[in-house]
Amino acid sequence: MKDQSRQRVLLVTGGCGFIGSCFVRQAVSKGDRVVVLDSLTYAGHRENLEGITGPGSFELVVGDIRQGPLVADLLKNNEVDAVIHFAAESHVDRSIDSPSAFIETNIQGTFSLLNASLSYWNDSQKQQKNKKRDFRFVHISTDEVFGSLGPEGKFSETTPLAPNSPYSASKAAGDFLVRAWHHTYGLPTVTTNCSNNYGPRQFPEKLIPHMIQCALDGRPLPVYGDGGNVRDWIHVEDHCTGVRLALEKGVPGSVYCLGGNAEKNNLDVVKTICRILDRLRPHPAGKLYESGLVFVADRLGHDRRYAIDDRKAQKELSFFRRYAFEDGLAQTVQWYLDHPHWSSAVLKGKDL
């Protein structure tokens, strides 16, 4: 068994991003020592780690997951107990316009990280047998790798992968690599596939923060197609709770789906944001924010519906959700209203 007196050490890739930084906050609050590896691309920001406190600690290392020697040194020098792999290019529109970055990060980066982890895991077995048993590689993926659903049914761990965008194809490739490194080499991996995240500190290119920012700036609120595309929404805190449970209870080689049990179409989400803003920050011109809604040409290859069946995670991991969507969305809108300096800092020099 692992020495319980020793502080758990986690290497978190992409820990300056939206979801990764939330996980770092949770881990530090639980007493873990976290090594954050982030290349600080447009969606990764030091500001996301500000104000983190707790019995644990963290340090930020600026670097690329494709730098094998750097990753190897971080694993060895910190005696890492687990790799939590959040680092990814994740915006579908960007993947359509420029897919190369997605191939490099989501495929080549995952490959490099797996190789470094495998070498470290094998070396650890030779030096300390319990390290081999306790080490975990947790790969964070998405429900988009499963493709698009019709009006009925939900994705589960047995759903065949059928990605439809360069982004989801690159994530599916990463999922397959993780699976292969477990089945071929025995690396103790766990993969999670989550639904759409929302919450504080999400970069304003994604639907919810983008609509909040557009509304506050007095810009039109652009909705793709007819607004009928359906997503299952999970609060980032709930998602990260699921990732932590997968780390602690997940069976090596297993996949766990994590959902929010909150299917909403995009138009309804935008209208709900408008109603919340009407209440919390009335429009300076006295009109309703919903009056800014405009429908724009649909995204290429836009999947119609996603939904997650996460009963396996509930049963095997004791996964649970704290946030109902409406409450979580209101909290999220309030956070952006209360933190305009964060939005200004992360959007400086960006054209969205």
The phi and psi torsions of 35 (rounded to 5 degrees) equal: -105, 115
Each residue's pLDDT tens digit, 216-240 = 999 999 999 999 999 999 999 999 9
Rounded to the nearest 10 degrees, how much is the dihedral formed by the CA atoms of 247, 74, 120, 52? -10
- The mean pLDDT of the chain is 94
Active-site annotation holds for 303: no
Each residue's pLDDT tens digit, 131-141 = 555 899 999 99
pLDDT above 80 (res 130): no
State the maximum Cα–Cα separation within the chain, in Å, rounded to a whole number: 70
What angle (nearest 5°) sits at the alpha carbon of residue 277, between those of residues 217 and 229?
A: 85
Active-site annotation holds for 143: yes
d(CA 163, CA 6) in angstroms, rounded, equals 41
Catalytic residue among 167, 198, 256, 323: 167
pLDDT above 50 (res 2): no
Burial of 158 (0-12, 13-18, 19+ CB in 10 A): exposed
Instruction: Give the list of residues 6+ apart from residue 229 with CB closer than 8 angstroms, or none.
Output: 265, 266, 302, 303, 304, 305
Each residue's pLDDT tens digit, 290-345 = 999 999 999 998 999 999 999 999 999 999 999 999 999 999 999 999 999 998 88
DSSP code, position 15 = T
pLDDT above 80 (res 127): no
Where do the structural domains in the chain lie, given as residue ranges? 9-203+234-260+302-325
d(CA 237, CA 22) in angstroms, rounded, equals 7
| pTM, rounded to two decimals | 0.94
Instruction: Report the DSSP pairing between strands 230-235 and 196-198.
Output: parallel
2: region left, alpha or beta (phi > 0 left; psi from -120 to 50 alpha): beta
Instruction: Give the list of residues 6+ apart from residue 195 with CB closer than 8 angstroms, or none.
Output: 143, 231, 232, 233, 234, 258, 259, 260, 306, 307, 308
pLDDT above 90 (res 350): no
Burial of 209 (0-12, 13-18, 19+ CB in 10 A): buried
d(CA 190, CA 82) in angstroms, rounded, equals 11
Q: What is the pLDDT of residue 291?
A: 97
CATH architecture, domain 9-203+234-260+302-325: 3-Layer(aba) Sandwich (3.40)
Q: What is the pLDDT of residue 95?
A: 94
Q: What is the pLDDT of residue 1?
A: 35
Catalytic residue among 32, 81, 143, 175: 143
Closest C-alpha to 135, from 127, 124, 144: 124
Tokens of 30: 């639980």
More confident residue, 42 or 46: 46
Tokens of 77: 């020098």
Instruction: Report the DSSP pairing between strands 189-194 and 136-142.
Output: parallel
pLDDT band at 25 (very low <50, low <70, confident <90, very high): very high
Active-site annotation holds for 50: no
d(CA 7, CA 13) in angstroms, rounded, equals 19
Among 107-116, 123-132, 149-158, 305-314, which stretch is predicted with the lowest mean pLDDT? 123-132
pLDDT above 50 (res 122): yes
